[in-house]
Chains A and B, each alone.
Chain A
């Protein structure tokens, strides 16, 4: 009897001292794919691979181990439809408690007060914003307030099949791939490569879905010290000589037959893994996946290396964006769910290293400086990527801007449009979009 009383007393004391830490069920909305079949029961993030696997395991681990007894339920959306669905939740009222968001998209939401300011909550939870690398903290902030937990910086990379490169004789004495140092050399080397190997020099997504070549184009413009949008994000700058030089080079890659115009994202990956292309232009997010495939021996790609996009038009510079976690604003959200959401963000921040195993660059200086990060495969070759990374200027409607440039660009290699015409078309569309975006809202 005394024993029971003591237990009840203990339970009461725990409940009282725990205060706000009442268990809550929260909704997480994200892209990165669905891999419940493979990772649904993995509770240890260090055992998972790839974006989808690691985030799935991180959620499982949080659900299994968090002291507050909180449960995170995941709603996965296809990448192409993700932001439309997230937008819809504000209308239906079924707003998620935590959602993933690109830093390029955040201005749309911040300017309309659709995100919860996180500065004070981070302070309470002990998340040290000073540990974020400056670029990441800047991505997550607006009007001197933090609105997101930065999770990574992701940039464009050259992923290389070293067997094909050595077949073409493009290997340095130290074993690293020899990469072109100018646009002209790129084309010359591409032709030599194709002659020596019989395979395409480049594989990249060339249809209208991802716009990988728009990211490459933006990188080339930055390399020349120019930008595609003005720094304050109010006007387009696509008709300058730098943009023309970059666009002409991109078109030339296709005109010279160095890349297959018919490849979509999956097709480009397949071609690279099948040993049908020397280099695939793709993001940091696939380093872990390609490395694992090459090591497994299940694909013709055997010797895989990742490098920065080389400086082909001047200084080193590459397109980058950032995955971040936000708490969408919802006045009806109970305090315990907000607490649970912050607890989950704290957990994700604590496990930032696990996410950086995907190939993404960590946003935490302490992780970047850690020996375990340096020990990850290929990280020495891309150690300075965050220093050369450029983000698009902060402006609303980045997705519309991106799609407008992408459609015009695709017509260069799919419909024979001239670079100048494509740039003129993109310029007028982006100007129209920016006029709307800067209407004082």
Chain B
């Protein structure tokens, strides 16, 4: 514990950022800066500047087409507080992420375990499972809207065959969200699966050989060797998924337009509608700030939880 802490603290204590005094070192420093410049420019222009501009706009009555009506203090944030649609959208977004992130991680891990290793069939399966990720959101939602359609869908004839009445999933406030979760799983499982595959491939074979000599059960091999070895990938996948799924927009926007009865309206859709339909960019920016803070909190929490494991 102490050794680990010391090694981690040491580099921070070193005065790395101080500009070196000797000409040679200064030249090195300039060279380093030059190499870093392309990234820094992109980072500053496309991330840091928009972030601070967004914060600034969120305190103003900024109209998309009419321009800036001036500083209004925290009025946008006060409006958010009393806007039921915003709370509904925030709740829907969290609900969607809570349903999607664990199931996506689990399904991706199970698929990765199933298709890892040599063999032609496994290689084909790997490609097939990854293939859906290359489609655009428009194609994916179109396909799933057709699959789920009660009139002409894929599920309807099966239900009818067993004597049931086809169900309108996307028209039900209860089932529309789960239907969008399933669509998202089908679409997005490829990337986390690939990450798990890479991680599984890098576990040393010796560990499994040793476990085999000890007659360890498959479950304890998975629980004591596989899972601890890919722990960092699990954290990475979960963080990436949280950040991605909290920004859900395309699927509900195209499949349900946020309905029925607001049950699938998410934060990004509400931000989009507020900013680009109603032209209230200031109000939209305030919502975006809330989303930003939400994503940051969940990602930090996840990273912190991941680090806890390291210390043990």
Task: Tell whether A pairs with B.
Answer: yes
Closest Cβ of chain A to B73, distance in Å, is: 14
Q: How far is the CA of A209 from the CA of B253 in the complex (A)?
A: 11
Number of A-B residue pairs, CB cutoff 8 Å, is: 93
Q: How far is the CA of A386 from the CA of B52 in the complex (A)?
A: 52
Which A residues are in CB contact (< 8 Å) with B258? 208, 407
Chain A residue nearest to B170 in the complex (CB): A207
Asked if A404 and B65 make an inter-chain contact with CB atoms under 8 angstroms apart, the answer reads no
Chain A residue nearest to B72 in the complex (CB): A439
Interface string of A380-404 (1 = CB under 8 A from B): 0000000000000000010110011
Asked if B283 and A264 make an inter-chain contact with CB atoms under 8 angstroms apart, the answer reads no
Name the one of A111, A208, A399, A415 contacting B278, with C-beta atoms under 8 angstroms. Answer: A399
Of A67-75, A357-365, A428-436, the segment with at least 4 beta carbons within 8 Å of chain B is: A428-436
Is A31 part of the binding interface, using a Cβ–Cβ cutoff of 8 Å?
no
Asked if A411 and B262 make an inter-chain contact with CB atoms under 8 angstroms apart, the answer reads yes
Is B277 part of the binding interface, using a Cβ–Cβ cutoff of 8 Å?
yes
**Known contacts A264-B171, A429-B85, A432-B83, A410 near B260 by CB under 8 Å:** yes
Total residues of chain A contacting the partner, CB 8 A: 40
**Known contacts A399-B277, A399-B278, A208 near B61 by CB under 8 Å:** no
**Known contacts A208-B257, A407-B261, A432-B83, A441 near B278 by CB under 8 Å:** no
Q: Tell me which of A108, A262, A428 has the highest count of chain B C-beta atoms within 10 A of its own C-beta.
A: A262
**Known contacts A397-B278, A407-B85, A414-B173, A441 near B257 by CB under 8 Å:** no
**Known contacts A208-B257, A262-B168, A439-B61, A84 near B277 by CB under 8 Å:** yes
Asked if B84 and A433 make an inter-chain contact with CB atoms under 8 angstroms apart, the answer reads no
Quick one: which of A217-266 are within 8 Å of B by CB? 261-264
Closest Cβ of chain A to B9, distance in Å, is: 50
Which B residues are in CB contact (< 8 Å) with A175? none
Which A residues are closer than 8 A to B by beta carbons? 80, 83-84, 87-88, 90, 108-109, 111-112, 114, 207-209, 261-264, 267, 270, 397, 399-400, 403-404, 407, 410-411, 414-415, 417, 425, 428-429, 432-433, 436, 439-441
* Given A262-B172, A407-B262, 18 more pairs with CB closer than 8 A: A87-B276, A109-B65, A112-B66, A207-B260, A208-B257, A208-B261, A208-B262, A262-B168, A397-B279, A407-B258, A407-B261, A410-B259, A410-B260, A414-B171, A414-B172, A415-B261, A436-B278, A439-B61
Q: How far is the CA of A207 from the CA of B262 in the complex (A)?
A: 10
**Known contacts A112-B65, A208-B258, A261 near B84 by CB under 8 Å:** no
29 contacts between A and B (CB under 8 A): A87-B64, A87-B65, A87-B276, A87-B279, A108-B279, A111-B66, A112-B65, A208-B261, A262-B150, A267-B151, A397-B278, A399-B277, A400-B278, A407-B259, A407-B261, A407-B262, A410-B260, A411-B262, A414-B172, A414-B260, A414-B263, A415-B173, A415-B260, A415-B261, A415-B263, A425-B84, A429-B85, A432-B82, A432-B83
Closest Cβ of chain B to A228, distance in Å, is: 18
Asked if B276 and A84 make an inter-chain contact with CB atoms under 8 angstroms apart, the answer reads yes
Asked if A90 and B278 make an inter-chain contact with CB atoms under 8 angstroms apart, the answer reads no
Total residues of chain B contacting the partner, CB 8 A: 33
Which A residues are in CB contact (< 8 Å) with B69? 439-441
Which A residues are in CB contact (< 8 Å) with B261? 208, 407, 410-411, 414-415, 417
Asked if B66 and A441 make an inter-chain contact with CB atoms under 8 angstroms apart, the answer reads yes
Interface string of B229-262 (1 = CB under 8 A from A): 0000000000000000000000000001111111
Q: How far is the CA of A417 from the CA of B79 in the complex (A)?
A: 24
Quick one: which of B260-290 are within 8 Å of A by CB? 260-263, 265, 273, 276-280, 283
Q: How far is the CA of A79 from the CA of B64 in the complex (A)?
A: 21
Asked if B85 and A208 make an inter-chain contact with CB atoms under 8 angstroms apart, the answer reads no
Closest Cβ of chain B to A410, distance in Å, is: 4
**Known contacts A208-B259, A407-B261, A433 near B171 by CB under 8 Å:** no
Asked if B84 and A436 make an inter-chain contact with CB atoms under 8 angstroms apart, the answer reads no
Asked if B257 and A80 make an inter-chain contact with CB atoms under 8 angstroms apart, the answer reads yes
Q: How far is the CA of A262 from the CA of B280 in the complex (A)?
A: 32
Q: How far is the CA of A397 from the CA of B258 in the complex (A)?
A: 19
Q: How far is the CA of A336 from the CA of B64 in the complex (A)?
A: 30
Closest Cβ of chain B to A62, distance in Å, is: 30
Closest Cβ of chain A to B219, distance in Å, is: 44
Q: How far is the CA of A60 from the CA of B307 in the complex (A)?
A: 67
Q: How far is the CA of A111 from the CA of B171 in the complex (A)?
A: 37
Which B residues are in CB contact (< 8 Å) with A261? 171
Which B residues are in CB contact (< 8 Å) with A264? 171
Closest Cβ of chain A to B283, distance in Å, is: 7
Asked if B85 and A436 make an inter-chain contact with CB atoms under 8 angstroms apart, the answer reads no
Q: How far is the CA of A112 from the CA of B277 in the complex (A)?
A: 15
Which 8 pairs of residues, A with B, have the shortest CB-CB distance?
A208-B259, A411-B261, A262-B168, A410-B261, A262-B171, A112-B66, A400-B278, A414-B261
Q: How far is the CA of A267 from the CA of B277 in the complex (A)?
A: 26
Which B residues are in CB contact (< 8 Å) with A429? 83-85
Quick one: which of B158-206 are within 8 Å of A by CB? 168, 171-173
Q: How far is the CA of A207 from the CA of B252 in the complex (A)?
A: 14
Which B residues are in CB contact (< 8 Å) with A208? 256-262
Which A residues are in CB contact (< 8 Å) with B173? 411, 414-415
Chain A residue nearest to B63 in the complex (CB): A441
Which B residues are in CB contact (< 8 Å) with A417? 261
Q: How far is the CA of A425 from the CA of B88 in the complex (A)?
A: 12
Closest Cβ of chain B to A328, distance in Å, is: 11
Which B residues are in CB contact (< 8 Å) with A267? 151
Q: How far is the CA of A349 from the CA of B53 in the complex (A)?
A: 46
**Known contacts A270-B151, A428-B84, A433 near B278 by CB under 8 Å:** yes
Q: How far is the CA of A208 from the CA of B85 in the complex (A)?
A: 14
Q: How far is the CA of A264 from the CA of B61 in the complex (A)?
A: 36
Q: How far is the CA of A263 from the CA of B280 in the complex (A)?
A: 32
Asked if A90 and B65 make an inter-chain contact with CB atoms under 8 angstroms apart, the answer reads yes
Which A residues are in CB contact (< 8 Å) with B168? 262
Chain A residue nearest to B166 in the complex (CB): A262
Q: How far is the CA of A439 from the CA of B262 in the complex (A)?
A: 27
Asked if A400 and B262 make an inter-chain contact with CB atoms under 8 angstroms apart, the answer reads no
Closest Cβ of chain A to B81, distance in Å, is: 12
Chain B residue nearest to A440 in the complex (CB): B69
Interface string of B33-77 (1 = CB under 8 A from A): 000000000000000000000000000010111100100000000
**Known contacts A84-B277, A262-B168, A207 near B259 by CB under 8 Å:** yes
